[in-house]
Structure 1
């Protein structure tokens, strides 16, 4: 790392950030935040003394929370609130170990198509991705039990939507940064996020926060929360509600996203669309030569000279392209309302009944530019739009002849493509309504046997996610064909359609006839029952042998139902077909913790652990995973640990049963240069595949249709991981006047994933076909008569592998209370040593190194170094927190563009007056204090920056009032 980067990393330790109070490392409930507010929150929770046996994420065996086998980061209630963020996903995505995931900065509702994983777009959802291994490989739990997967009415995802969790219900979050499939089963390859809910509270608590982007006066967000808790010694009740109203930020209001290229000032800078409101036409002239003119409002066409100066036609140029960028959202709007209830009843002295209910309603929206209406054989829609002919009797047809798309029963094709931006119908608007209900019931207790205490629990889980999406801006291809066809057949409600007349030529009557409101829906169900038993069997030299065993049965079901018009193939947007599926699994597991030595020279503690899980799936059969670890304390203050583990991820419902869906990928067709300077062998193979030998074919659209579908024969992904770590907590500093706490932690991780589920890349299939004429690859590529690619097809397969290595560093320091108050310092960093993918190539396999790069579409940066440093101060009624977040520079892998490093600064100041008995706290905060814009990214999907890694451009300020009664 360069000297300047080390300097910035050091600055991050004491830097300027409001957003978070210290995040404690692997100390679970014992974690301290150093703030008075945290102490107030902790007063509602059961007291846990050091050395008490509790259950912490990563093991079912009860143990001292200070002796952790794996790296765990804990975000307590104060840390979450101090970020000023209204989404748990946004909070988690600030962890240096996080790779991003869906969030409110994503605006894709399908205008690029559906990603090739069967999960749909996920519009309005929010997810967590640890170690850049995707959200599908991060398991999300609530109080140690699985949460239902999300749905946004575009597919059947294999990930959890964190927006379905009311923030008011959360007590703290434990993030296990280690694989845990032997403990928790599928999906825990990268780690586990365990959300611990409030179970005890005294009285009312309320909070209200208002924030917005100060310079632009947009992105207004209201976050309101209310909860009440009470009861008796044997009965406890907590109920609460959360409401979030987040308004949009338009891409047209930020300079980085005003044009398709970062920093662009016109379409001459590149990236604009060929779908122009004036119309773009690829027709055959009298010499059977393709032309690409743009026509004006009142076209006059000279068939002998298509570019006759007397006509309104002219050659299409870059200046005629359409700037779609200002129509998008940089921050998508979202309203979320959630309620929760928790009930705890003691039954006798050693048995407890717990039940919990969570309900969340989400209304979110996305927006894209007006529909690019493409018709003709080379349009690439894959439906009726590709076969539309425009009759000579259409009153707006200036060509004097029928423009035929060819095909059975029609004259030979005499046009290839017509593109018309449908600006008269306004922007494409997508609205999601999502309801999530999650309920659990648990019975737990303890009993004595042979002089030892055993703990047991039985749990039931029900989860249901129901999503509906309404899309305004789509066109019914069947009605459009009638409106463009013979005028004699355009009867009744039909109105002849003017696709030729330029801006304003499409009337409201035409719009009403050809458009429709598209409605799609999807849902997912989870039913889970489990039973666990933990205790100790006998004593070993270092202590009792701990054991945990358990059983789990899980049923999961999901479905996706697109609009019937879309299902019939008559939509103008992304085609889709219904999907549905289900599976069930039975699992048993066992876990041992063996204290081998204790209180010996150089062996203050030596523990070994082992876990195994057997899973039997209805879809693919059985899978066994193992894990082993070793903890060693050579002295009291130093813990050394290491673990080896196997992991697996069962294919999701969308991956197994998803019907073929389309993704519009930017690819260069090697055959579009036939007749030019390309290798003779490639030219010959292109001609074999039907590309005209005369060199007349030129790729019209940079986006090619890629079709990917599910595969019921998929097998689980498998992983192996190594974790080595050290924790140093010197006792000599505690009580010395220098510090009340000093913790240093370092962890090295090495994770390998084999059989990763993905399709063979469209670029690979196309390259294999054009380079080698490979029969399988060529059969996957379809071309039209003109040589244009109509689609590239592929199924999901177990064909990829991923390897990632890195180092996490954590430092946590706090001073004792003094007349100057108490000071704290927290620093968390991630060094990415390797992230590589091995994927099929044109010949064999190729290794792609992602470290230090930006992948782009789908967006993901892989910085070599990420760091968060927080300085906080508390004195009497005052609380101050300053934090810096550093992201090292990356290089776009597609074009070599360097995206510079970023250093974000956040600030928060709180006041809790003593004369009000500290019942009220007023806080002011600013995120991105110095107004740093994200680095421009030309290969990213929308808005010219990576939403998984960087903040929305602008300085965000907020004010919050909290009260307790």
Structure 2
């Protein structure tokens, strides 16, 4: 993996670093370049640190303008970015995280309530987010130390435009820029005031969104300022409000419901007769009175004593109605920046932001598991004496005879996870210029500090230690303050006094801090025959600090839910970089202009040492209307605090155990002899598809290292310009390729279990233990490592068409496409992970990669009227049907056991009118998903039967209105 540092390109750029003295670098925004060659892109974009260099269109950059943002009808930066074609799965408002999501295997926590962006399907942690060219602090989820930026911390009201660099950029921007860079440019040159109000809701009349934005800016003498305040309130939509999401898996009834039921499930061996029972409480009999000696259940026959044989399809619990389809999210923020001209060539600026997000996730009532394999030592080693006042079985129940006891206390209500997240940012700096010979050099120096802190209150969960005391000897309970003996044997048996002892409020908190200092210099060194040699160089210092502090009860191991331990860590980095733009040819037989761009960055990390990454790019403008461009870059991503230092935590994964009869009764698929070797009894049945997977950080992690390549063209055919069919046409095409070695990841749990059963290899089986009686998995270790290599490539193809003026108005057509032709994630042993183009998998981080995504917009304007129509297309996906394989809802196409999620297109429409009152009153009305298209059914998604990170919310369109008044 370290061989990347010693390639000839790296040596060449290291030599270049010695030839130009390091200094300070260009400001993020470049002026319009002065060149005779036609400027193919009128917007200066992210992708170069050189001031006044004609390299901003050398790399593929998508610019989302303020007009584009308003056309979506959305109120979150993250929601807007998740709709671009190059973006993949990420957390958003449909992700009812917490509860079973727990701690996904990327070391970053569940990110409850956050919205993130995932470029090129390489993961949110491999996309760098900047605000005005400066790094933004990562989110803290109150369930871990996050490794990505929560875009809900940046009010949409203060955004002027968003620039998305869809190319590797570690040499320019450092770590995390493997997949690309999102640069959010805030509003600066604003004169006057603007008041905006918005309201929208879904067709069934729920999920209302309402908000108010205020902007004010101006200038006086040498000073200018901008202040923006925003309030947005997104109301919830419950899973019970839509037909699609009212059952655990749509189209399967209760067959795939939970075995953790309100009346209790009791699997134990009676020592009086040696018979193993699998019982649940009969809801038709109010007072179960177990009768010993009755024969074991057969075929679901009723017993006369209030207990009956467990039958999954009849007795399973429907947890779905308790979940949320759309999570409530309330955000309030204020942002301001002030600029002062200190001299004709020097400006001082300061920026500040304060933002608060409150959000809520809801899960079904938390189950209580007892016996071997339960979630904590207190419940795993439970002892319920025979003389316990509520023990109906007349025998002591303990780890010697309990296979599993499961009780879902609906008396305690659903689990509620409420987050309060505060983000603060303060930055200041000086920007200046000076003359060198006949040219101008630019410099800037900047300081910034960002902090994101989160607190989460969890209600409806249980204390495992208190459960064990309340179910244990009555003398111990009597000697414990507040203890009331607990009755879990039947329906509605848990009283408020019992709940008061076992169900406290759990409070977790986490924090991320980022401190940075940068200094940059840019200018032209000397003239070459084809133009001036220009450069940018600079120094950057960053310090990251992060911590996660779960509730003290959780730290003591008393939490009955997903366990976790504290995390704390910090590291810093010193970096220098150099970028050179070398004009090779100008106005020659080989074209209008040929430029060579070289860049390199050296980073010194306190955690792992030094790293150098280079980049080379060519920009060849063959003619005024045609440009070729290509880049090759090497990159890296340093492990984050969560990846390095996260202690043992857990998430619940949907896994089909190949050694067990499945939940719906399907026969085992694994090697029978190997399953016996693993200790699985013949005929053993899987109790539940959700298996707790233990994960955590690894302080020995090395950085990920990457190679990126892109090549493409920009063509503005003059033959179409100012013709009967077009005023202007721009066509862009880009091929991209990314290769990552030593990717920080955990092996897919299903893949790990399948390989264990197939090979008995200790690398896969070493962390998996099974219950000797039931054969079900007790523990499943799945820790982070530099395990994988990831390779992906594909194409972007975009068309921008401005039609001629017509009597009925002006039209513009935009068509943007991304094709993913390859995505391969390979473990160290050579085994392929299941995610690939056209595939959806049950993964808490990245769920699906459509082969083709496409956005097409037709915009119209005539006088004060505007309108637009947008079509968003997602190509078909396939997934494993899993336990739903035997149901008609599993569309066995193209292969048996595979479900096809058909291609889906959503249509959005908007109309607006501007009234010439004050400085303008703009009225907008629109509907997203105007035809109420439902997304295809997902059978492997762990909640709600659809993939909310890929598709729109099911169950009707979303209409909205907006009014903007300028004065």
- Same fold, TM-score > 0.5, yes or no: yes
Corresponding position: 1:323 with 2:314: no
Deviations 1:33-76 (A, max 9, x none): xxxxxxxxxxxxxxxx9699996311101236785110111111
> Could you tell me which residue of structure 2 aligns to residue 133 of structure 1?
122
Closer, same or farther: CA 668–730 of 1 in aligned 2, 3 Å: closer
Identify if the C-alpha distance between structure 1 residues 737 and 676 changes in structure 2 by more than 3 Å, giving closer, same or farther: closer
SS in 1 for 2:534: strand
1:601-620 pair list within 5 angstroms: 601-620=589-608
> Which residue is 1:37 aligned to?
none
State the alpha-carbon separation in 2 of the partners of residues 317 and 938 from structure 1. 22
User: 2: distance between equivalents of 1:775 and 1:614?
Assistant: 39
1:583 to 562, 568, 571: 571
Is 1:173 matched up with 2:199? no
Matched, 1:310 2:304: yes
Mark the CA change 1:451 to 1:374 in structure 2 (over 3 Å): closer, same or farther: same
Alignment of 1:224-623 (within 5 A): 224-264=212-252, 266-267=253-254, 270-285=255-270, 286-296=272-282, 297-305=286-294, 307=297, 309-318=303-312, 319-379=314-374, 381-405=375-399, 413-491=400-478, 492-502=481-491, 504-623=492-611
Write the distance in 2 (CA, Å) between the matches of 1:182 and 1:425. 54
How far off its partner does 1:831 sit? 1.3
Does the C-alpha gap of structure 1 residues 778 and 176 become closer, same or farther in structure 2, counting only changes over 3 Å?
A: closer
Matched, 1:642 2:630: yes
Instruction: Give the SS at the match of 1:85.
Output: coil
Q: Which residue does 1:4 correspond to in 2? A: none
Aligned residues: 901
* 1:376 Cα offset (Å): 1.3
Q: Distance in 1 between matches of 2:669 and 2:811?
A: 67
Alignment partners' CA distance in 2, 1:372 and 1:179: 45
Q: TM-score, normalised by structure 2?
A: 0.90
| Superposed displacement of residue 732, structure 1 | 5.1
Map of 2:768 onto structure 1 = 781
- 1:582-641 superposed Cα distances (whole Å, 9 cap, x missing partner): 111011100011111111234111111110011111111111111101111111110011
Counterpart-to-counterpart distance in 1, 2:319 and 2:700: 40
Q: TM-score, normalised by structure 1?
A: 0.90
State the distance in 1 between where 2:843 and 2:806 align: 52
Work out whether residues 932 and 957 of structure 2, in 8 Å CA contact, stay in contact via their aligned partners in 1: yes
Change beyond 3 A, Cα 1:446–1:517: same
Map of 1:772-811 to 2, 5 A cutoff? Answer: 772-786=759-773, 787-811=775-799
Task: Give the C-alpha shift of residue 666 in structure 1.
Answer: 2.6
Q: Displacement of 1:489 after TM fit?
A: 2.9
CA distance in 2, matches of 1:415, 1:201: 70
**Equivalent residue of 2:354, what SS?**
strand
- Deviation digits for residues 75-115 of structure 1, max 9, x if unmatched? 11111112111111110111111113110010021323210
Cα shift readout 1:125-162 (whole Å, capped 9, x = no counterpart) = 01000110011000000111100000110001110000
Contact 2:654 2:940 survives alignment (8 Å):
no
Q: CA deviation at 1:702?
A: 2.3
- After superposition, give the CA deviation of every residue in 1:917-940 in whole Å (9 maximum; x if it has no partner): 561111110100000001000001
Counterpart residue number, 1:23: none
State the alpha-carbon separation in 2 of the partners of residues 680 and 328 from structure 1.
Answer: 38
- The range that moved more, 128-137 or 535-544, is 535-544
Question: What aligned pairs does 1:103-182 form with structure 2 within 5 A after superposition?
Answer: 103-182=92-171
Q: How does 1:21-100 map to 2 (within 5 A)?
A: 56-63=45-52, 68-100=57-89
> How far apart in 1 are the matches of 2:574 and 2:415?
45
Moved more, 894-903 or 873-882: 894-903
**Aligned-partner Cα distance in 2 for 1:759–1:52:** 41
Aligned partners of 2:126 and 2:176 also within 8 Å: yes
Q: Paired residue for 2:887?
A: none
> Could you tell which deviates more after superposition, 492-501 or 61-70?
61-70
Query: 1:751-790 residue pairs with structure 2 within 5 A?
Result: 751-786=738-773, 787-790=775-778
- Distance, in Å, in 2 between the alignment partners of 1:846 and 1:368 is 33
Equivalent of 1:892 in 874, 879, 890: 879
Aligned to 2:646: 658
- Please say if residues 681 and 771 of structure 1, whose CA atoms lie closer than 8 Å, have aligned partners that are also in contact: no
Q: Distance in 2 between matches of 1:509 and 1:225?
A: 47
Cα contact 1:52–1:65 (8 A) shared by 2: no
Q: Give the root-mean-square deviation of aligned CA atoms.
A: 2.3
Matched residues in 2 for 1:160 and 1:282: separation? 45
* Among 665, 674, 685, the residue aligned to 2:677: 685
Per the alignment, residue 923 of structure 2 pairs with: 922
Q: Which moved more, 1:811-820 or 1:312-321?
A: 811-820
How far apart are 1:28 and its partner, in Å?
Answer: 9.3
Report the CA distance between 1:643 and its aligned residue: 0.9
User: What do the CA deviations read for 1:145-197 (whole angstroms, capped 9, x no partner)?
Assistant: 10000011000111000000011111111001111000000010111000001
Q: Runs of 5+ in structure 2 lacking a partner? A: 1-27, 33-37, 882-896
Relative to structure 1, is the Cα distance of residues 71 and 434 closer, same or farther in structure 2, using a 3 angstrom cutoff?
same
Residues 424 and 506, structure 1, Cα contact 8 Å, conserved in 2: yes
Structure 1 residues without counterparts, runs of 5 or longer: 1-26, 32-48, 406-412
**Residue in 2 that maps onto 1:933:** 934
Once the 2 structures are TM-superposed, how far is the Cα of residue 839 of structure 1 from its aligned partner? 2.1
User: For the residues of structure 2 that align with 1:50 and 1:761, how far apart are their CA atoms?
Assistant: 47
The whole-number CA distance in structure 2 between the counterparts of 1:382 and 1:835 is 38
Answering whether residue 748 of structure 2 is matched by residue 748 of structure 1, we say no
Q: Distance in 2 between matches of 1:950 and 1:99?
A: 11
CA distance in 2, matches of 1:242, 1:680: 61
Q: Structure 1 stretch 610-619 or stretch 226-235: which is displaced more? A: 226-235
1:956 to 949, 955, 958: 958
Secondary structure of the residue that 1:219 maps to in structure 2?
A: coil
What SS class does the counterpart of residue 474 from structure 1 fall into? coil
